[in-house]
Amino acid sequence: MSALLKASNLTAYYGDAQALFGIDFDLREGETTAIIGANGAGKSTFMKAVTGLVKTKPGQIVFKGEPIGGLPPGEIVKRGIALVPEGRRLFASLSVEENLLMGAFAKRPGPWSLQRLYTLFPILNEKRRQPGTSLSGGQQQMVAIGRALMSNPTLLLCDELSLGLAPIVIKEIYDALPAICAEGMTVVIVEQDVVLAQRVSRRICCFQEGRVSLQGASGELTREQISQAYFGL
Amino acid sequence: MIETLVQGVLLGGLYCLFALGQSLMFGVMRLTNTAQGDFVILGSFAAIAGMSGLAAMGPANAATPFIVMLALLPLAFGFGYALQRYVLNGTLGKDPLPSLVVTFGLSIVIQNLLLEVFSADPRSIETAGLNTESLALPGGGISIGVLPLLVFVVAVVATASLQWLFNSTRLGRAFRAVSDDKEIAELMGLNSNKVYALATAIAFVLIAVAGVLQAMRTTVSPSDGPLLLLFAFEAVIIGGMGSFWGTLVGALLLGITQQIGFRLDPGWGIWFGHIVFLAVLVVRPQGLYPKTR
Amino acid sequence: MTPQVIRNNRSSRAALVAGVLLVLVAATLPFWAPEGSGSSWMREFVEIACYFIFAMMWNLLAGYGGMVSIGQQAFFGFGGYVMLMLGNFAGVNPFLAVPLAAAAAGLIAVPVSYVAFRLQGGYFAIGTWVIAEVFRLSFANVSAVGGGSGTSLTALRGIDKATRENATFWMALVCVVASIALVYTFLRSKRGLALLAIRDNEVAAESQGIDVRGMKLAVYVVAGFGAGLAGALYFVGNLRISPDAAFSVNWTAFAIFMVVIGGIGRIEGPIVGALIFWALNKFFSDYGTWYLLGLGLLAIVVTIYFKQGLWGWAQQRFGLSLFPTQRTLKL
């Protein structure tokens, strides 16, 4: 299987401060990969680099065979990459349904629609006219995921889905993952909870201080390997 | 007293037209257009020039100013779009100073340009008597001018349209989204530069309408702009920045306040409006219809 | 070697010496200047001094206080009128009335701030303009000071022209030096650092224990005082005041122009801006509307393409700094 997304020696900066020091990362189509690592390891920065929110040098990121480094975020979403951002970041002036509709702004064809989302997350149908930010944390996360799905992406990036949520809510959200992946969606999740990450994903990639410290199938990596890679020991 | 209220409401309609463009631009991109009033006056003079151009073809009738207005609208749209896209977009950001200085500079440029081209003499648009016609209100014994009533109706229609645009259309969603969170909106495929330009384009259509109506209602001169800006701004603040209906209400209140002031003493009319505005600012700074965020 | 905090540099020391010499030479001007042109130069200096002081105070407010105001002319005109009222009605010597009027302007900035601080950013700017208009309309309705057409400063009637012009010139010189000194020491002090912190990030500054509200009020009052000083001085030189002249928004427009050209947030900026403005005035003001149009265009172009102002651009290009308020750590 050829790589859907390929990062080669990816570097990224915030102003003068370097955050990523040459990431090599391959993503196979249809797989769910988890990126783990401590705070500040560069996981979110990687997500932002792929989606164009952080500038990268040309040629370092290739998606479906075409380089996307340096493209504006609007272009990248049109090519089929969607981000569920860290902290949800719903539009405060928009209702739940309007937030979802904004996801479809790029008008990409595909199976995802309001109807299908309301089947996946029925509570959103109930609250669809309410302001997005009036919902609970878990429900907002569902809206954020739904919003990303509305653009019918080929690659879905989820940044810290479980942040600030209760375990039972986290379970509810991750239970929806198989339905999302059913038609071959490629998913990358950034997750602090290593055990959870291993459980829901096929491959694990560990970031440590802006570099990849470990990559492999989640079933094959041992606890010691992971904690060493996590902490840079 | 009723007469004063009615006059105030009708005047408020005009102020609402001045204010809607300002409210729109600030709402979508946090840009304070200090040349707002001057662009209205520019619109007035553009209409006056258009009228004298048409006069060469034949005498004006009551419909001529509206034909000129219709012709001006696409021009205003294009002008606003280009202005935002190529000049003002570069001034947006955390610091309010660049947009303030640039729009202030535009204000000076417009005033002096108009002075050069048209001289300082006040002018107006020939309305073939429309501005002196009046209607008698049923059962009230009050008569109101047809033109002020027309202005009021236009203002209400404009407010309703703008509110509808924001609440129920894809573009309106885009406007609200980009003002909530520009970065995430761009992540959805939105081009903020173009969206901003569209907002300003629409604002300028409103400005053109306001400019033509102002020149029909009264005389205009090149330096009238700043005062109109202050009225627009006061209407927006009194109404609160949560909705366009708020701007209309704020404008009506301002109009009424000014009329009351004029009745008490002609020299203090505008002063009274300013004072009431400042009082609202002290007592309820978020305005009547605040943004709920 | 222990780390040192360095505040001056070579070029700033040189500039200080040059500045002092310039002031001393200028102070002797009335004694050796030729009859006609000398006194017209002195009058021009007084006028430019007023522009400069007003611009420097606007710069303090906007660049360091982070508050962009289009209404500082309220204090300018207020200073002028108070000076006139003290001179005409209370028999106070106008030259003494100038600092008193400035103090009055500083005082009235307090209640004004109570209203103005309700707004922020661009709307604060326009709000201050509304307040200035209220000042203008109020004074225009007071017949004791001539109402809409204004009145003359009668208190200086008895003095002969030459003495009056000399005294005004020296007064202007003193005011210029005093305002530069005031702003400079203010910014070099701990308060100055606090101001920069507030300007960069209000919330963070507050969490460091800085009284943000108090600092902003302090800056607003100082700026009001300075504007009042400029106004009082201007009308001592002009001898005639009217609401439209005293409270015209053009004052702020010129200040914005001078500061934007020279560079916001830098002390040298207003000096550079005032000099450029004076030069432009000298050569082009006869062109009336075209001149003003050109000024407007220039301000637009500089704001968009030279975000640091012309002086700021030169600073970055050539590394100059004549009035250093930075502290460099030398290890």
Going from the first residue of chain B to its last (293 residues), give the mean pLDDT of each consecutive group of 10, the final group possibly shorter: 86 94 92 94 94 80 85 95 94 86 94 93 81 72 82 95 94 94 92 95 96 92 94 91 90 92 84 91 83 57
Cα–Cα nearest to B222, from B12, B98, B48, B24: B48
- Full residue range of the structural domain in which residue C55 is found: 4-330
The answer to whether residue A73 neighbours chain B at the CB level (below 8 Å) is: yes
Contacts of residue C141 in chain B, CB cutoff 8 Å?
A: 267-268, 271
pLDDT of residue B208: 96
CB-closest option in B229, B267, B278 to C115 = B278
CB contact under 8 A, B34 and C138: no
Q: Contact B185/A89, CB-based, under 8 Å?
A: no
Residue ranges of chain C with per-residue pLDDT less than 50: none
Query: Residue B284: closest CA among chain C residues belongs to which residue?
Result: C118
Buried b (16+ CB within 10 A) or exposed e, B3-16: ebebbbbbbbbbbb
pLDDT at position C321: 60
Task: Please give, one letter per residue, the 3-state secondary structure of A151-187.
Answer: CCCCEEEEECCCCCCCHHHHHHHHHCHHHHHCCCCEE
- Map out the domains of chain A with their CATH numbers: 3-231 (3.40.50.300)
Read off the pLDDT of residues B90-147 as tens digits, 9 standing for 90 and up. Answer: 899 888 888 989 999 999 999 999 999 998 889 888 777 777 777 776 766 677 888 8
What pLDDT was estimated at residue C326?
56
Answer whether C141 sits within 8 Å of B268, measured CB to CB: yes
Per DSSP, helices labelled H in chain C are: 10-27, 29-32, 35-59, 73-89, 94-116, 121-140, 161-188, 190-200, 202-207, 212-238, 243-246, 250-262, 268-284, 289-305, 309-318
Of the candidates A11, A63, C304, A169, the one whose C-alpha atom is nearest the C-alpha of residue B83 is: C304
Number of domains chain C contains: 1
Look up the ipTM and state it.
0.89
Q: Which residues from chain B sit within 8 angstroms of residue C131, using beta carbons?
A: 278
Q: Which of A54, A95, A98, A102 to mutate to test the interface with B (most CBs of B within 10 A)?
A: A102
Instruction: Please write the tens of the pLDDT for every residue from C118-172.
Output: 888 888 999 999 999 999 999 998 888 888 888 888 887 777 888 888 888 889 9
Taking CA–CA distances from B266, the nearest residue in chain C reads C141
Q: Where are the domains of chain B?
A: 2-283
pLDDT at B140: 65
**CA angle (B17 as vertex; B16, B22 as ends), nearest 5:** 85
Q: Which two tokens stand for residue B196?
A: 């901003």
Beta bridge partner(s), residue A214? A206
**Range with the poorest average pLDDT among A1-15, A74-88, C188-202:** C188-202
Q: Quote the DSSP letter at residue A89.
A: -
Q: What is the CATH number of the domain that holds C172?
A: 1.10.3470
Banded model confidence at residue A99, pLDDT cuts 50, 70, 90: very high
Q: Three-state SS string across A95-134, please?
A: EHHHHHHHHHHHCCCCCCCHHHHHHHCHHHHHCCCCEHHH
Q: Do B177 and A77 touch (CB under 8 A)?
A: no
Residues of C in contact with B109 (CB under 8 A): 293, 296-297, 300
Contacts of A107 in chain B (CB under 8 A): 189
Q: Quick one: pLDDT at residue B14?
A: 93
CATH number assigned to the domain covering B2-283? 1.10.3470
C62 neighbors C259 (Cβ within 8 angstroms) = yes
pLDDT per position as a tens digit, A192-205 = 888 888 888 989 99
CB < 8 Å to B174, chain A: 102, 105
CA distance C234 to C81: 11
* Cβ within 8 Å of residue A52, ≥6 positions away: A68, A70, A71, A72, A73, A75, A76
Distance from CA of B66 to the nearest CA of C (A): 31
Chain B contact for A101 (CB, 8 A cutoff) = yes
> So what's the pLDDT on residue A178?
87
| Nearest residue to C217 (alpha-carbon basis) of C328, C113, C68, C67 | C113
Q: With CB atoms and an 8 Å threshold, state whether B102 touches C300.
A: yes
Per-residue model confidence (pLDDT) at position B293: 43
pLDDT of residue B199: 96
Closest chain B C-alpha to C264 CA, distance in angstroms: 10
Task: Judge: B268–C131 Cβ closer than 8 Å, yes or no.
Answer: no
3-state secondary structure of C162: helix
Q: Map tokens 């459980």 to a residue.
A: A199
Measured between CB atoms, does B182 come within 8 Å of chain A? no
CB contact under 8 A, C70 and B104: yes
Answer positive or negative: Cα dihedral of A124, A130, A131, A134: negative
* CA nearest to B90 within chain C: C304
Give the list of residues 6+ apart from residue C142 with CB closer than 8 angstroms, or none: none
Place of tokens 């090599």: A24
